[in-house]
């Protein structure tokens, strides 16, 4: 059991909620920030408001995990820039006057874009969206900050409670509601769809590493197409559903495959995500 203190930005988001529960179960003293905090150990945190950041950092902590961001890749470009770029600059500035052991920053596997697979941490960055560009900007600012950091690049993950702005929860809802039709984009690109519970486990293990100033992929090395996801859900639910192609959901320059090389994680003694896709989807139905 740990007695360390952890501050989580974005603590009331999808990942933040799971991470808080997981860390508390291990004995960490957890606090965090959110735009509209709803718990006693949560404080108001607006990364575009420097006074808000300073006030949130009034309590001492050993670790900080920065999750607060616009995580939906098709969100408004101005919103993405404000949260992921300006917000990061403000956060780093505030952290420069705070004593702590380590910061973990959540980037994204979208920074890779495509290319030779599987993607390792040294693979060429090839952003295909404003969202991915904002994450690269964030990483560059962190690397220049002089702070003790680890950058995490999670590949796609999901679980119960994720917003239906994301693809897997949207598809699961259609099966739960026994819808007759679902509108989707391209069904053939293969992506990882990992379990949120694995991701928060790995975040905690990264906290405990002796290493700093490192980048780690978080993934499983196993990818699935949406065609495969649909077929698994048909089998699990006993319900069939027709698919209509909708141009609104088709992304330009969408790589055919995006999959993780987990070698570095394993070299540091961390077990990658398990990629038990049927178990994950069953838990969401």
The whole-number average pLDDT for the span 213-241 is 98
CA distance 226 to 251: 14
> Closest by alpha carbon to 18, among 285, 283, 276, 263?
283
- Cis peptide bond N-terminal to 222, omega within 30: no
Q: Which residues contact 228 (CB under 8 A, 6 or more apart)?
A: none
What pLDDT, on a 0 to 100 scale, did the predictor assign at position 76? 85
What pLDDT, on a 0 to 100 scale, did the predictor assign at position 29? 98
CA distance 20 to 7: 9
274 or 252: whose pLDDT is higher?
A: 274
What pLDDT, on a 0 to 100 scale, did the predictor assign at position 74? 64
pLDDT at 72 over 70: no
What pLDDT, on a 0 to 100 scale, did the predictor assign at position 116? 84
Percentage above 90 pLDDT, the chain: 87
CA distance 251 to 283: 28
Average pLDDT, the chain: 95
List the structure tokens of 234: 């048909």
Contact status, residue 92 vs residue 148, Cβ threshold 8 Å: no
Q: Which residues contact 191 (CB under 8 A, 6 or more apart)?
A: 155, 156, 223, 224, 258, 259
Q: CA dist 134 to 108, 111, 198, Å?
A: 10, 9, 25
What pLDDT, on a 0 to 100 scale, did the predictor assign at position 255? 85
List the structure tokens of 103: 């910061």
What pLDDT, on a 0 to 100 scale, did the predictor assign at position 267? 98
What pLDDT, on a 0 to 100 scale, did the predictor assign at position 3? 84
Contact status, residue 37 vs residue 13, Cβ threshold 8 Å: no
- The domain locations on the chain are 5-158+194-221+260-274
Q: What is the pLDDT of residues 139-171, one digit of tens each?
A: 999 999 999 999 999 999 999 999 999 999 999
Give the homologous superfamily in CATH for domain 5-158+194-221+260-274: NAD(P)-binding Rossmann-like Domain (3.40.50.720)
The whole-number average pLDDT for the span 173-177 is 98
Percentage above 70 pLDDT, the chain: 98
What pLDDT, on a 0 to 100 scale, did the predictor assign at position 199? 99
List the structure tokens of 27: 């004995």
The whole-number average pLDDT for the span 91-118 is 95
CA distance 112 to 21: 30
The whole-number average pLDDT for the span 118-134 is 94
């Amino acid at each position: 059991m740990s007695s360390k203190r952890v501050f989580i930005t974005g603590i009331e988001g999808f990942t933040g909620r799971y991470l808080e529960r997981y860390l508390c179960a291990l004995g960490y003293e957890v606090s965090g920030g959110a735009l509209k905090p709803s718990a006693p150990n949560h404080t108001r945190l607006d990364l575009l408001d420097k006074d808000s950041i300073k006030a949130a950092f009034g309590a001492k902590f050993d670790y900080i995990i920065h999750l607060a961001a616009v995580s939906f890749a098709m969100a408004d470009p101005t919103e993405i820039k404000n949260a992921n770029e300006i917000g990061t600059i403000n956060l780093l500035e505030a952290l420069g006057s705070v004593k702590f052991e380590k910061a973990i920053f959540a980037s994204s596997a979208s920074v890779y874009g495509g290319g030779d697979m599987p993607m390792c941490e040294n693979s060429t960055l090839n952003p295909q969206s404003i969202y991915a560009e904002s994450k690269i900007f964030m990483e560059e600012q962190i690397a220049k900050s002089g702070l003790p950091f680890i950058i995490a690049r999670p590949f796609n993950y999901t679980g119960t409670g994720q917003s239906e702005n994301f693809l897997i929860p949207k598809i699961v809802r259609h099966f739960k509601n026994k819808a007759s039709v679902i509108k989707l984009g391209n069904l053939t690109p293969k992506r990882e769809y990992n379990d949120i519970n694995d991701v928060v486990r790995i975040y905690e293990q990264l906290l405990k590493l002796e290493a700093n100033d490192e980048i780690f992929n978080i993934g499983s090395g196993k990818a699935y197409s949406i065609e495969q996801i649909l077929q698994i859900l048909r089998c699990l639910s006993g319900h069939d559903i027709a698919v209509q192609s909708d141009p609104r959901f088709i992304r330009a320059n969408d790589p055919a495959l995006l999959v993780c090389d987990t070698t570095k994680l394993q070299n540091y003694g961390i077990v990658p995500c398990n990629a038990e896709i049927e178990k994950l989807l069953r838990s969401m139905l």
